Amino acid sequence: MSRRSYAQYCGLARALDLVGERWTLLVVRDLALAPRRFTDLLAGLPGVGTSLLSERLRHLEDQGVVRRAVARRPASGVVYELTGDGHRLAQAMAPLATWGAARLDPDAEAELRPEWVAYALQASFRPEAAAGMHDCYEFRLEGMVFWAVVDDGTLTVTQSKPGRADFTLTTDVPTLAQLGSGLISPRDAVTSGRARFRGDPEAGERALRVLGSGAPPQG
């Protein structure tokens, strides 16, 4: 089926021609953290449907944004992963996600998943505050573990363990979202039993400074 085009000699119009259809950018979002099987993508995008997801993945493959790969051991089978161009697209999406986050309805009864919070960290990252920093932060959210690696003003969020973490936060998705937005203080999160902090408190303070707001409790 042919795709409609804006037929405008404009970078934004061309980007929308290529990735502006419904679900396309959400597929890229979910692959930004780690390669995923088709069934994982399907489960993480309620409402997309098998046929539509297949179509979106084929289109992204045709555009050089996504490729198929063999899963790394101990897993097996085929996974989808972002190409270099796909990662550049994911980075370009971060400011748009920041714009959208400022317009989220805090009272909306919408689904919130750990992997979406992980992507939100990339959108909220403050590179100017991270200049000269070299830290690794571990996040444990409702059975999901991922790491945020800060390297002199750059951020990599991954589910592949990069090394020893300077700081570990164990919590649930709503609490992390509230910590990042400053709606709850780290001390209140700990005393209420909603979060556990482990590691260097100064590293935790840096983490919240470059990824959100606030400071971790001392001791």
Model confidence pLDDT, tens digit, residues 52-89: 999 999 999 999 999 999 987 776 789 999 999 999 99
What band does 214 get if pLDDT is binned at 50, 70 and 90?
Answer: very low
pLDDT above 50: residue 219: no
**Lookup: tokens for 93:** 């999406």
Question: What is d(CA 105, CA 120) in angstroms, rounded to the nearest whole number?
Answer: 16
pLDDT at 102: 77
pLDDT above 60: residue 217: no
Domains defined for the chain, CATH in brackets: 11-101 (1.10.10.10), 114-211 (3.30.1050.10)
pTM, entire model: 0.80
pLDDT above 60: residue 153: yes
pLDDT at 85: 98
Model confidence pLDDT, tens digit, residues 94-145: 889 888 877 877 667 778 788 888 888 887 888 999 999 999 999 999 888 9
pLDDT at 159: 86
Task: Tell me the C-alpha to C-alpha distance, in Å, between residue 215 and each of 64, 170, 197.
Answer: 41, 15, 11
DSSP character at residue 73? T
Start-to-end CA distance of the chain, whole Å, equals 61
pLDDT above 90: residue 45: yes
What band does 1 get if pLDDT is binned at 50, 70 and 90?
Answer: low
Model confidence pLDDT, tens digit, residues 34-43: 899 999 999 9
pLDDT at 183: 80
Which residues 6+ apart lie within 8 Å of 141 measured at CB? 114, 117, 118, 171, 172, 173, 176
pLDDT at 51: 98
Q: What is the mean pLDDT of residues 163-178?
A: 90
pLDDT above 90: residue 193: yes
Higher pLDDT, 118 or 148: 148
Mean pLDDT, the chain, integer: 89
What band does 205 get if pLDDT is binned at 50, 70 and 90?
Answer: confident
Question: What is d(CA 136, CA 200) in angstroms, rounded to the nearest whole number?
Answer: 11
Model confidence pLDDT, tens digit, residues 195-204: 999 999 999 8
